[in-house]
Amino acid sequence: MIANLFGPDLGIVIVVILVVLLGGSQLPKIARNVGTAGKEFRKAQQEAEEDAAREQAAKVSAATAPAPPAAQPLPAAGSTNDSVQLTRAQLDALLQEREEQVRRQSGSPSA
């Protein structure tokens, strides 16, 4: 008979009363913090999904990007075209050659 009085229902009621009496002033703060944490979590998750989508789009665009244009031959010496197009390798070779000329003219030993 006494066991029926102190069943699980009474335990729940006692816990609720203790929370209300002892922690009632803290409940709004706790609820606010839980809401803020949930909002920040959703925001971080959305940003991560957007970053993943951007990376995926970058990979797809890099895979489908057109190849760089082929190097065009240099114009003849007598042509009137003032523009010159060089490949990266040609430019590097030209710069290295000019640096060697400057070293020779200044009299310093080449490295």
Domain of residue 46: give its range: 1-66
Q: Is residue 1 part of a domain?
A: yes
Q: Is residue 42 part of a domain?
A: yes
Q: Is residue 95 part of a domain?
A: no
Q: Where are the alpha helices (DSSP H) in 65-86?
A: none
- pLDDT at position 79 is 55
Q: Is residue 81 part of a domain?
A: no
Q: Is residue 7 part of a domain?
A: yes
Torsion of CA 100, 104, 108, 110, to 10 degrees: 40
- pLDDT above 70 as % of the chain: 72
Q: Is residue 54 part of a domain?
A: yes
Torsion of CA 13, 15, 20, 26, to 10 degrees: -150
What does the pLDDT look like over 39-63, one tens digit per residue?
A: 999 999 999 999 999 988 888 777 7
- Total domain count, the chain: 1
